[in-house]
Amino acid sequence: MYSPNEKRYDKMLYRRCGKSGLKLSALSLGLWQNFGRSSDFETAEKMCHTAFDLGITQFDLANNYGSPDNGSAEVNFGKILHRGLGTYRDELVITTKAGYDMWPGPYGTKNGTRKYLTASLDQSLLRMGIDYVDIFYHHVFDPETPLEETALALDNAVRQGKALYVGISNYNTRQSSEMIKIFKELKTPFIVNQPSYSMLNRWIEDDGLDKWALENGIGLCVFSPLYQGFLTDRYLFSVPNDSRVAKGQTWVSNELNQKMIVRLRALSAFADTRGQKLSQMALAWILSNKAVSSVIIGASRPEQIIENVKAIDNIKFSPVERAEIDGILKK
């Protein structure tokens, strides 16, 4: 039976999610990749245990994780809970999302209808074998469904006791502003937006989403912090055969040109001056943004989680360091 590290809370940072009372670990474990039916279950379980041993309390899922076997990541996480991790359910923040294509027919396609969201959450709870999730997200903005309908579906999940809080993902500032007005009227515990964000993808700054989140008391839990692996040491000199780029499993592979490689090498050299690996500096840089409550990391083996958690040892950047990094990114 799994027995967690007794000192798991000693070093991890915990931040309030917006103005809510909920604290999230600065780093969270995302189960998008490497937790599905085709993945090695023992490795997946070890990664979850390693994360919790290091003080990571948030485990981020979605109904379609585990592709091509949609839902299989939730099934496997349910097994991991049943085999021991679930003993510590009250120490975990388990989240799931719904919004992308999930099952055949008009009610399981990419949308934000009340029917789809309600059915999807029921399915997710059944797959994981739990009574509720801590946060239930609408995964992606749906222009064809009235925001009021999507908001009411999320609000209903809380009123039914199937979710404690709600969130949205991949919503920009304008869409988020419209959504929060509805949630305020409903008095829904809306606390978080989950956008993509990294050194190489700073759209939330250009859009003003991070500033909006701070002003409105909404936390940001960001994903793809390492830009599909670019912000690691994997691509500094070649493209490994087992990488996402080599396997065609990323939508940014065409960006890995010589100009990008030069930029990545410069960032890696600068990370060395801070006593960090490139990946650690990239995570620390995100955490230096006050709007960010938690950074969702992915992993294919436990050692990556151990390495990434070291990012919290130094998340401060001087004005000179920021200017240096901005200069590299603009090259």
Domain coordinates in residue numbering, the chain? 14-229+279-314
Exposed, middle or buried, 87 (CB in 10 Å: 0-12/13-18/19+)? middle
The mean of the pLDDT values for the chain is 95
> What digits encode the pLDDT tens for the residues 140-156?
999 999 999 999 999 99
Mean pLDDT to the nearest integer, 73-92 = 98
- SS3 state at 153: helix
Most confident of 78-92, 224-238, 240-254: 78-92
Residue 315 is predicted with a pLDDT of 97
Look at residue 240 and tell me whether its pLDDT is greater than 70.
Answer: no
Q: What is the largest CA-CA distance in the chain?
A: 55
Residue 143 is predicted with a pLDDT of 97
Look at residue 239 and tell me whether its pLDDT is greater than 80.
Answer: no
Residue 247 is predicted with a pLDDT of 55
Residue 248 is predicted with a pLDDT of 57
Distance separating alpha carbons of residues 195 and 157, to the nearest angstrom = 22
> What digits encode the pLDDT tens for the residues 284-329?
999 999 999 999 999 999 999 999 999 999 999 999 999 999 999 9
Domain 14-229+279-314: give its CATH superfamily.
NADP-dependent oxidoreductase domain (3.20.20.100)
Query: pLDDT category, 1, cuts 50, 70, 90?
Result: confident
Residue 159 is predicted with a pLDDT of 98
Look at residue 67 and tell me whether its pLDDT is greater than 90.
Answer: no
Exposed, middle or buried, 238 (CB in 10 Å: 0-12/13-18/19+)? exposed
Residue 244 is predicted with a pLDDT of 59
Q: Which residues does 194 contact at the CB level (< 8 Å), separation at least 6? A: 60, 97, 137, 167, 168, 169, 170, 220, 221, 222, 223, 296
Residue 152 is predicted with a pLDDT of 98
Look at residue 242 and tell me whether its pLDDT is greater than 70.
Answer: no
Query: pLDDT category, 257, cuts 50, 70, 90?
Result: confident
DSSP string, 88-127: GGGG-EEEEEE-S--SSSTTSSS---HHHHHHHHHHHHHH
Percent of the chain with pLDDT over 70: 95
Q: Which of 5-9, 241-245, 318-322 is least confident?
A: 241-245
Sort residue 110 into left (φ over 0), alpha (ψ -120 to 50) or beta: beta
For the chain, the residue count is 331
Look at residue 7 and tell me whether its pLDDT is greater than 70.
Answer: yes
Percent of the chain with pLDDT over 90: 89
Query: pLDDT category, 78, cuts 50, 70, 90?
Result: very high
> At 293, phi and psi to the nearest 5?
-90, -40
> What digits encode the pLDDT tens for the residues 167-210?
999 999 999 999 999 999 999 999 999 999 999 999 999 999 99
> At 196, phi and psi to the nearest 5?
-80, 150
Higher pLDDT, 294 or 229: 294
